Each structure stands twice: as structure tokens, then as C-alpha cells.
Structure 1
Amino acid sequence: MKFSEQLVTELKPVWEANHNHPFVKELAAGKLATNKFKFYMVQDYVYLIDYAKLFALGALKANDLTVEGKFAELLSETLNTEMGLHRSYAKEFGIRPQELATANPTPTTLSYTNYMLSVGQSGGLDKVLVALLPCMWSYNQIGKQLVDTPAATHPLYSKWVAMYADDNYTELTNWTIGLLDQVTEGQSKGQLAELTKIFLNTTRYEYLFWDMAYYHRDWPIVE
């Protein structure tokens, strides 16, 4: 069994809980409150600023030019395409560009991105991959999961579904999964156990991110 298959099999309860969070379920039904999605959109934009740095770390730790170039593509895709789509998409919800540019991370966003960057800088390419994959992989799966739901034709949410179910996004996701399987081939049980723990943690953070948006969990004390 490939390591990627082992991960989703071993961590199935956590993985499926992430996919079945009330935020995702209500989004699928086209019934998610707009204010919850707006809060999510702002925090996701803040999150992507640091998430993109993981692709830069991937390029830095790449073992050949092809892999380095692909991470550069992922970095460009995130900064220039995904974030650009976020900015134009946010306007449909009445979110001004200045609001995105000046938004502060919630405790969940800050903790999640700091964890990923700490892990990514502490080890090799394998750690970068298990840190970033739960976000990319789960979004691709959720996007495909929502293609045949009311969300796919919703006047506001359909673009989000299309973005993450897109063939190009799927191709990049599959490439990243394949690279993880490649770099972990032949690793010891101890090494794989450490990587599994990181993957579990970032999958849990994905759940917390949905939770944060659904329940509007921000700092309890503000200026």
C-alpha cells in the first residue's frame, strides 16, 4: 500500500469528519449562511499568504529541477491564480480588497500556518508535503464531492466548487500525492509514524478551520 493510501486509511475517521463538517454539509446543500462564508473567505485569504510559503520551501528542498519547477508552478498558482480569484470572488460578497489586505489571522489561522511553516522548515521535502497536503487534497475531494449538489449551481457558492473541482487543481493535487509516495518509499516505520502524526495534525487543523468559520471564532479580546 502506498503511503498516501495508508494515511487516509489509518486516519479515516478524522479525514471523514473533516469532509462532513456542518460548514461543508450546509455549503453542499446551498444553505450555508453568507456571513459564515464571508468570514471564511477573509481568513482563507490570510491563510493562503503563508500556505504559499510552503511551496517555496518545497522548491528549496526539491531533489531535482523538475520537482523544483513544479513547486514554483504551485507557488505561482496559489499567489497569482487562487488568491486573484479570491480577491475578485470576495467582491461578490461585499468584501473590499482593503479588508482582505488588512485582515488579521484568528487564533486558529495563526496556529495552523505557524505549525505548517515550523514543520516545513524543520525537515526535508517529506515533511513539507505532509504539512501542506491535507488542505490541498481535502479541498480537491470536497470540490468534487460538491459538483452534484445544490452548491454547484448556487449563485454565490458555485465558483468555489468549480475552483477546487477543476481539472488543473486535481492534476496538481495528484502530482503532490504522487511525490509524497515517491519520497517516502523505503522509509522506516519510525519515519513514517512521524509523518503520519504531522498529517494527522494538519488534518485536524483543517477541521478547526471549518469550525472557526462556522462558529465565527475570533480573538476573545480585541483592541
Structure 2
Amino acid sequence: MRFTNTLWKNIQPIYQSILEHPFNQEFMQGTLTQETFQFYLKQDSLYLVDFARALALVGAKSTIPHRVVQFLEFAQGAIAAERGLHEAFFAEYEIEVDVPKAPGCFTYTNFLLATAALQPYEEAIAALLPCFWIYQEVGRYIGEHAIPDHPYQKWIDMYSGEDFAKAVESAIAITDEVAAATTPAMRERMESAFTMSSRLEWVFWDSAYQYEEWPV
């Protein structure tokens, strides 16, 4: 069994909780309010900037030239997603990013940046993978079950589409390649990082659904 298959198998309870979360169930049914979706979009825009920074940091750690380029391309893709998908919705709703990071977004992005900057290359790669992989799986799930004429179809098309699938496949392949060349102890650290990011994916969606704010 590939290392990433083991990772995915181990987070199934987390993934099922993500699918069953009211945010994603209402999203799938087309009943998620625009207010909630707009809150999510703003937080996601803030998230993607730091996600791109984390990808660039990981790329800088690679000793393989084409991997450096690949992670920089991932980072560029994250920014392109923010400028494309998000700006299209922002224009439609006549909104802008006028809020700070909510606690859930702040926690997730700081975990990714700290791991990318301070932890080994292998561990950082594993921490970044859930953002690719879980989003693809959620996008596919929603796309397969969504109502016709979905109000957020552009989001579904992006995350269930072929271009994003190619990026996910590349990220999975890199993780498997790195895991095969490292030690059992490091693979345990990779698994721990992957699991933590998967939990924080749930936290991010819950944060948007709850309109999470700082208590003080």
C-alpha cells in the first residue's frame, strides 16, 4: 500500500465529519446562505495567500531543482485561484476582503507556515497535502450530489475539475516519493502533520459556518 493510501485511510473519520458538516451539506444542497459563503470566501482568500507562502518555503527546502520549480508553480496556482475564482465571486457580490483572519483560519495558516519554516522538508510536504487532496474529494462529492443550476457552480467546477486534479496527483506523488526515501520515524511525523492539517480543514469550514470571531 502506498504511504498516501495509509494517510487517507487513517483520516477517514475526519473526512466523513467534513462531508457531514452543515456547511458542506448545505453547500451541496444549494441552501448555504450567501452571507455564509461570503464569509468563507473572505477567509479563504486570506488562507490562500499564506498557503502560497508555505508552498514557496517548502520548495526552497528541496534539493531537487525540478521540485523547487514544482512547488513554486503550486504557489503561483494558489494565488491564481485567489485572483480568478475569488475575484469573480467578489465582483458578483460587490464585496472585498475587509476582515482579519478568524481564529480557525489563523490557526490553520500559522500551523502551515510554522511547519514549512521550522520542520523538516518531509513533514512540511505532508502538512500541505490535505489542502489539495481534501478539497478535491469534497469538490467531487459536492459535484456528484449537487442540485442543478447550483448558485456556487464556479467553486464546484474548479475543485472537481481536471486542472486541480492534476495538481493533487502531483502533490500525492511527491509525498509518496519523499516517504519512500525517508525513515519510519519521519513517516510517523509526516502522518501526524497530515492528520493535524486534516483536522484544521474541518476547523476552517466550521469557522466559516459559525461566523467565527475573536472573543476579545
List per-residue Cα deviations over 1:63-111 (Å, max 9, x = no partner). Answer: 322111111211111113443321122222231xxx31x4310111111
- For the 8 Å contact 1:46–1:103, the answer to whether it is kept is no
Instruction: State whether structure 2 residue 164 is matched by structure 1 residue 187.
Output: no
1:94 aligns with: 94
Output the amino acid matched with 2:99. A
Output the amino acid matched with 1:41. L
Q: Hey, what's the Cα distance between the residues in 1 that align with 2:146 and 2:51?
A: 29
2:144 aligns with: 148
Q: Hey, what's the Cα distance between the residues in 2 that align with 1:42 and 1:140?
A: 20
3-state SS of 1:219 partner: coil
Instruction: State whether structure 2 residue 109 is matched by structure 1 residue 108.
Output: no
Corresponding pairs, count: 216
- For the 8 Å contact 1:151–1:161, the answer to whether it is kept is no
Shift of 1:186: 4.4
- For the 8 Å contact 2:85–2:155, the answer to whether it is kept is no
1:4 aligns with: 4
Output the amino acid matched with 1:108. G
Match of 1:129 among 83, 107, 125: 125
* Cα 1:54–1:32 shift into 2, 3 Å: same
Shift of 1:152: 6.2
1:157 aligns with: 152
Q: Hey, what's the Cα distance between the residues in 2 that align with 1:219 and 1:83?
A: 27
Q: Hey, what's the Cα distance between the residues in 2 that align with 1:185 and 1:86?
A: 37
Q: Give the alignment's TM-score, normalised by structure 1.
A: 0.91
Match of 2:198 among 187, 199, 203: 203
Shift of 1:10: 1.8
* Cα 1:105–1:151 shift into 2, 3 Å: farther
List per-residue Cα deviations over 1:87-138 (Å, max 9, x = no partner). Answer: 122222231xxx31x4310111111111111111123321221111111111
Match of 1:139 among 135, 140, 147: 135
Q: Hey, what's the Cα distance between the residues in 2 that align with 1:153 and 1:71?
A: 35
Structure 2: unaligned runs, 5 residues or longer: none
Shift of 1:28: 0.6
CA RMSD of aligned residues (A): 1.6
Structure 1: unaligned runs, 5 residues or longer: none
Q: Hey, what's the Cα distance between the residues in 2 that align with 1:81 and 1:60?
A: 22
Q: Percent identity?
A: 29
Q: Hey, what's the Cα distance between the residues in 1 that align with 2:14 and 2:184?
A: 21
